[in-house]
Amino acid sequence: MTFYVPRHFRLDDPAALDAFVAANAFGTLVSAGAAGLSVSHVPFLPERGGDGRLRLLGHVARANAHWQELEGAGEILVVFSGPHAYVSPSWYANHPSVPTWNYAVVHAHGRARLLPPEALPGLLDRLSRAYEDARPSPWRMAGLPADYTAKMLPAIVGFEVAVERLEGKFKLSQNRRREDVDGVAAALEREGQPELAALMREHAPESR
């Protein structure tokens, strides 16, 4: 698979890539099979094992035929998208300029394997804890009636993607002068996009 990433938009820092995936873990799973491309939108649990390799743990409905081709699909792509927004040329200090779109995205490439049914309860518990632990009264999977859990679990299929490489593209006006970056970031804050504005300032070139 090819991915166009100009040098000034490339993010290579492993810690920053991991943090981005963890913060934007609802990913788009893409694989190619005999019938063409299959796409599913999946909440992932990213984990690094003792070997240092990143694994993306997820699940889909058993009724979703996508799971049947995962193990034989070869390379898998998972796309993690962050904040994005239209950029008006009126926000720049330097002219002439044209409209564009700023965004941050990470592509994870790897290979998938299906998880055994007995791994599902642990996966679902860890996934729910990732989103429940910060709540005043966290929901716990252990509180479900055993017969209800036994009925629901067969309706889903768990899998993991062993990530072989991560590619980050943070298109955040790094090709513009600093005064243009500051102008766009300020405008985005006014328009309710503080997260994207913060990313722009974090990745702005020291001088240009």
Q: What is the pLDDT of residue 208?
A: 55
Average pLDDT over residues 71-98: 96
How far apart are alpha carbons 195 and 186 in whole angstroms? Answer: 12
Q: What is the pLDDT of residue 194?
A: 98
Please write the tens of the pLDDT for every residue from 109-119: 999 999 999 99
How far apart are alpha carbons 177 and 20 in whole angstroms? Answer: 25
Number of Cβ within 10 Å of residue 93's Cβ equals 14
Q: What is the pLDDT of residue 207?
A: 55
* Average pLDDT of the chain, as a whole number: 96
What is the residue extent of each domain of the chain? 7-203
Q: What is the pLDDT of residue 178?
A: 94
Please write the tens of the pLDDT for every residue from 131-144: 999 999 999 999 99
Residue 108 contacts residue 162 (beta carbons within 8 Å):
no
Torsion (CA) 33, 36, 39, 44 in degrees, nearest 10: 20
CATH code of 7-203, in short, is 2.30.110.10
Q: What is the pLDDT of residue 25?
A: 98
The CA–CA distances, whole Å, from 178 to 104, 109, 160, 196, 208 equal 19, 33, 41, 16, 6
The percentage of residues in the chain with a pLDDT greater than 70, rounded to a whole number, is: 99
Please write the tens of the pLDDT for every residue from 10-66: 999 999 999 999 999 999 999 998 889 999 999 999 999 899 999 999 999 999 999
Average pLDDT over residues 167-185: 97
Give this prediction's pTM: 0.95
